[in-house]
Structure 1
Amino acid sequence: MKLVIRVKLLPTPQQASALQATLHACNEAANHASRCAFTTGIKRNRELRTQIYAQLKDRWGLGAQAAQHVIKKTCDAYAALAGGLKAGTFGRPGSKRRAKATGKPITFRPDAAQPYDDRMLSWQTEQRTISIWTVQGRMKRIPYTGQEDQLVLLARRRQGESDLIQQNGHWYLLATIDLPEPPENPAPQGFIGVDLGIENIATTSTGKRHSGRQTNRTRENDRRLRRDLAKKNTRSAKRRAKRNAGKQARRTRDINHKISKHIVAEAQRTGRGIALEDLSGIRERARLKKPQRVTLNSWAFGQLGSFIAYKARKAGVPVVYVNPAYTSQECSQCHHIDKRNRPRQAVFTCRSCGFVEHADLNASHTIAQRGWWMWVRGAESQVPVLRLVA
Structure 2
Amino acid sequence: MQETTVFTYRVSLPPTEWAKASAARRSAGDLWTRLVKIHRFCRKRHWPWPTEAQLKAHFKGRWPLHSQTIQALIEKFFATMDGVRTKRQNGDKKARYPWRFRRYFNPIFKRQALKMQGSHLRLSLGRGREPIRVRLPDALPTGMRVQAELGYGEIFLTVTRILDDPQPPVSEKAGGLDIGVIHLGVVSDGQEALAVSGRGLRSIKQGRAKGLAHLQKKRRRTQSGSRRRKRLNRARHRISQKVERVTRNALHHAANQIVAFCLATGITMLYAGDLGTLNHQKRHRRSRRTNQEIGVLEFGRLEQYLEYKLRRYGIPLIKISEAYTSQTCPHCGHLNKVAGRTYHCRACDYQAHRDGVGAVNILNKGMHQGEIRPGTLLVPERITYRRPVPFKRALRRSPAEPRHVAGGISGSESGGSLRGVHTPRRSHNGSLRISAL
Match of 2:216 in 1: 230
Mapped partners of 2:238, 2:13: distance in 1 = 22
Answering whether residue 176 of structure 2 is matched by residue 180 of structure 1, we say no
Q: Aligned pair in 2 of structure 1 residues 301, 357: CA closer, same or farther (>3 Å)?
A: same
Q: Secondary structure at the match of 1:112?
A: coil
Match of 1:279 in 2: 275
Taking structure 1 as the reference length, the TM-score comes to 0.78
Match of 1:86 in 2: 86
Mapped partners of 1:266, 1:214: distance in 2 = 21
Answering whether residue 105 of structure 2 is matched by residue 122 of structure 1, we say no
Match of 1:211 in 2: 197
Q: Secondary structure at the match of 2:349?
A: coil
Answering whether residue 170 of structure 2 is matched by residue 198 of structure 1, we say no
Q: Secondary structure at the match of 1:246?
A: helix
Mapped partners of 1:90, 1:241: distance in 2 = 36
Q: Which runs of 4+ in 1 moved over 6 A?
A: none
Match of 1:46 in 2: 53
Answering whether residue 151 of structure 2 is matched by residue 166 of structure 1, we say yes
- Matched to 1:183, the amino acid is P
Mapped partners of 1:89, 1:260: distance in 2 = 33
Match of 1:292 in 2: 290
Counterparts of residues 260-339 of structure 1 (less than 5 Å): 260-272=255-267, 273-280=269-276, 282=278, 284=280, 285-286=282-283, 287-334=285-332, 336-339=333-336
Mapped partners of 2:353, 2:162: distance in 1 = 40
Mapped partners of 2:200, 2:76: distance in 1 = 39
Preserved CA contact (<8 Å) 2:186 2:359 = yes
Match of 1:358 in 2: 353
Mapped partners of 1:187, 1:371: distance in 2 = 20
Preserved CA contact (<8 Å) 1:4 1:175 = yes
1:89 Cα deviation (Å)?
Answer: 10
Taking structure 2 as the reference length, the TM-score comes to 0.71
Q: Secondary structure at the match of 1:192?
A: strand
Counterparts of residues 91-110 of structure 1 (less than 5 Å): 92-93=92-93, 97-98=94-95, 101-102=96-97, 105=99, 107-110=101-104
5+ residue gaps, structure 2, are: 223-227, 375-437
Preserved CA contact (<8 Å) 1:159 1:178 = no
Match of 2:61 in 1: 57
Preserved CA contact (<8 Å) 1:184 1:313 = no
Match of 1:144 in 2: 135
Counterparts of residues 59-74 of structure 1 (less than 5 Å): 60-62=63-65, 66-74=66-74
Q: Secondary structure at the match of 1:303?
A: helix
Q: Aligned pair in 2 of structure 1 residues 73, 211: CA closer, same or farther (>3 Å)?
A: same
Match of 1:12 in 2: 14
1:288 Cα deviation (Å)?
Answer: 1.0
Q: Aligned pair in 2 of structure 1 residues 384, 47: CA closer, same or farther (>3 Å)?
A: farther
For residues 294-330 of structure 1, the C-alpha deviation after alignment (integer angstroms, 9 at most, x for no partner) is: 1111111111111111111122112211211111111
Mapped partners of 2:248, 2:145: distance in 1 = 25
Mapped partners of 1:373, 1:43: distance in 2 = 49
Q: Aligned pair in 2 of structure 1 residues 88, 310: CA closer, same or farther (>3 Å)?
A: farther
* Residue correspondences, number: 352
Preserved CA contact (<8 Å) 2:148 2:158 = yes
Name the structure where helix makes up a greater proportion of residues.
Answer: 1
